[in-house]
Structure 1
Amino acid sequence: MRALLCRQYGPPEHLTLEETESPKAANGKLVIEVKACGVNFPDTLMIQGRYQVKPPFPFSPGGEVAGIVKEVGAGITHLKPGDRVFALTGFGGFAEETLADGHKTFPLPDGMEYGTAAALMYTYGTSYHALKDRANLRAGETLLVLGAAGGIGLAAVELGRMMGARVIAAASTDEKLALCRQAGASDVINYSRDDLRERLREITGGQGVDVVCDPVGGDLTEAALRSVSWQGRYLVVGFAAGQIPSIPLNLPLLKGCSVVGVFWGAFAEKQRADNGNNVQQLLTFYQQGHIRPHIQVQYPLEKASQALREMMNRQVLGKVVITP
């Protein structure tokens, strides 16, 4: 089979497309013939050695896949060869075949395309866990989403609207903000042009925001935290800006607010039943028409390095999917 391999840490251009041996199903694991694999920001960190998970060399990036079960290992009873599935793999998805854990693999609903399924788990799984489990977002509250045109950001905009919140989307271009409005944002802020804190004061009438979803980090963090209302919740989701910010700890004290970490991968592993319930709920939302992953483009495996570069350069609106 073919796989895009990382043999040493570096930029996407150092990855090589090679012929390699097919994986074998082991106890609790299965082999999936990959039809689609989502591209996510952690993939770009993993190939540079900057992610908390460091697979042994050589490895393929790609943490969420959809495809057909090829082989089932011992202990797996809910799936069989030939089943259409989607799975959280962590890595290994930029290949024609990959291994997946049985408890992180789910049947694909009838009518759902492989590309759509491969664009669902990371972004919507993370955002739903963030808003539902970590922030306890309630109808009528105000939600600020930073990096709102990215995969996690757009998912948070859609889910926040569906959960009854007033959603303020912040992004770096008017093109991105137009997409956020289509996803359900009530108000938008172009933070490459406008002062984030001042615009939030105008939009909220000085009341501030109840919840901040921040997958960006960097220079925007402190301004957004200063805009949180009394007993608000600041969700630390990631650092797409490349900088892990430092914050004045007097701000949570003065605002009585919470700074809450969101690590969906660990949640999916440590609270398997809760994560399974969330996945099933997301599938229901999709079937009811409440959420629709925005896929900017689908690339063949030969262009996976280009997809990673576009992700690193923050050129992606929504999701990019690789189709081996």
Structure 2
Amino acid sequence: VQLGKAAGARVIGVAGGPEKTAVARELGADVVVDRHREDFVAVVKEITGGRGADVVYDPVGGDAFRKSTKCIAFEGRILVVGFASGDIPSAALNHALVKNYSIVGLHWGLYQQRDPGAIADCHAELTRLAAAGTIRPLISERLTLADVPDGLRRLAAGATIGRVVFLP
């Protein structure tokens, strides 16, 4: 769950496990919640005075998505970018209507078919921002070819943090 930094808003990082929550703190989240140990719905409601999160970034799906619908603000947006939990949830559209929030999907792979220029433009801008030091991708591991199978197993199990890259 993430609240935008604009207008003095707070960033609430919801992560799974002590290692991931520590990284969220190090990266500057104002409030960090371990979704495996705490009820992030209650924390979001408390931190926002009952208003809820304006933006939820959800790469997990499943129960995390269902809980996000309970703490999304009026006219909020839930950005669905994946289903790392392996559980693809169904959205209760009556709930989205009653709370007046949007569910926005982002399937990056479709851009290769539909708008490949957007991929090139995005890559160029991200490269520029990284070169300028404005953003710093979190690369937690650099793997050799021999380490790739184990790295993929840990990635699938949700045991990695940040990006794991293969160096040929």
CA distance in 1, matches of 2:124, 2:5: 19
Equivalence for 2:153: 309
- 2:24 aligns with one of 170, 180, 184: 180
Any conservation in 2 of the 1:226–1:251 contact (CA below 8 Å)? no
- Under a length normalisation based on structure 2, what TM-score does the superposition of the two structures give? 0.89
Please tell me whether the aligned partners of residues 172 and 191 of structure 1 are also in contact (alpha carbons under 8 angstroms). yes
Which of 56, 63, 66 is matched with 1:212 structurally?
Answer: 56
1:171–1:191 CA contact under 8 A, matched in 2 = yes
Residue pairs, 1:89-238, within 5 angstroms: 144-145=1-2, 166-238=10-82
What does residue 267 of structure 1 align with? 111
Q: Distance in 2 between matches of 1:215 and 1:174?
A: 18
- Matched residue, 1:285: 129
Runs of at least 5 residues in structure 2 that lack an aligned partner in the other structure: none
Change (3 A) 1:238 1:211: same
Provide structure 1 residue ranges, at least 5 long, that are not aligned to the other structure. Answer: 1-143, 146-156
Give the letter aligned to residue 227 of structure 1: C
Q: In structure 1, the residue corresponding to 2:11 is in which secondary structure? A: strand
Whole-Å separation in 2 of the counterparts to 1:189 and 1:261: 24
Identical amino acids, percent of aligned pairs: 39
1:175-228 CA distance string (max 9 Å, x none): 211211222312111111111211111111111111111010111211111211
User: TM-score normalized by structure 1?
Assistant: 0.48
Question: RCO greater where, 1 or 2, for CA within 8 Å and sep 6 or more?
Answer: 1
Distance 1:273 1:253 in 2: 34
Distance change (3 Å), C-alpha of 1:305 and 1:235: same
Q: Do the aligned residues in 1 keep the contact of 2:142 with 2:166 (CA within 8 Å)? A: yes
1:295, 1:319 within 8 Å by CA — same for their partners in 2? Answer: yes
Corresponding position of 1:73: none
Letter in structure 2 aligned against 1:180: A
Q: Which runs of 4+ in 1 moved over 3 A?
A: none
Deviation at 1:244, TM superposition (A): 0.7
Figure out how many residues of one structure are paired with residues of the other and give that number: 168
Give the root-mean-square deviation of aligned CA atoms: 2.2
